[in-house]
Amino acid sequence: MEASERKQGCLFCEIIAGEKESETILENDGFIAIQDKYPKAPVHVLVMPKRHIEWLNDIGAQDAEFCRSMLQFIVEVAEELGITDPGYRVINNVGSGGGQVIFHLHWHLLAGRSAGFNIREQL
């Protein structure tokens, strides 16, 4: 990652740069998936872009290809982990009010137990 693409003091930028330790699940030129250090499910992976983006609100229409690539990478991570069947959850927390703790865009990929609700039962 080039220095211009990272933010000083950002934990995820430090992990991406190899300055902090993490367990990498999958990586390509634009994205990385790592084990969550404090898992909330049997499978809990963090997927993030290598370039620093604060949060989802910073994604604009000009980033359509970036968004497609990131979503495709999330699917590839799920396939790598063998969790595409029976399924998994993908969560993005936006802002401190939405539960975002680290302000580097990232997605939580969770699997291994039921989400605890069935939307069809509520319809």
What is the residue-level pLDDT of the chain in tens, covering all 123 positions? 455 576 888 999 999 999 999 999 999 999 999 999 999 999 999 999 999 999 999 988 668 899 999 999 999 999 999 999 989 999 999 999 999 999 999 999 999 876 665 555 545
Burial status of residue 4 (CB atoms within 10 A of its CB: 0-12, 13-18, 19 or more): exposed
Query: Before 86, cis peptide (omega within 30)?
Result: yes
- The reply to whether 119 falls in a domain is no
**The pTM is what?**
0.86
CATH number of the domain to which 68 belongs: 3.30.428.10
- The reply to whether 122 falls in a domain is no
- 85 DSSP assignment: T
Positive or negative: CA dihedral 96, 49, 20, 14? negative
- The reply to whether 37 falls in a domain is yes
Annotated catalytic sites, by residue? 106
Instruction: Count Cβ atoms below 10 Å from residue 83 Cβ, excluding itself.
Output: 19
Number of domains in the chain: 1
- The reply to whether 7 falls in a domain is yes
- The reply to whether 69 falls in a domain is yes
- The reply to whether 123 falls in a domain is no
8 Å CB contact between 31 and 70: yes
- The reply to whether 107 falls in a domain is yes
Q: How many CA atoms lie within 13 A of 2 on its CB side?
A: 3
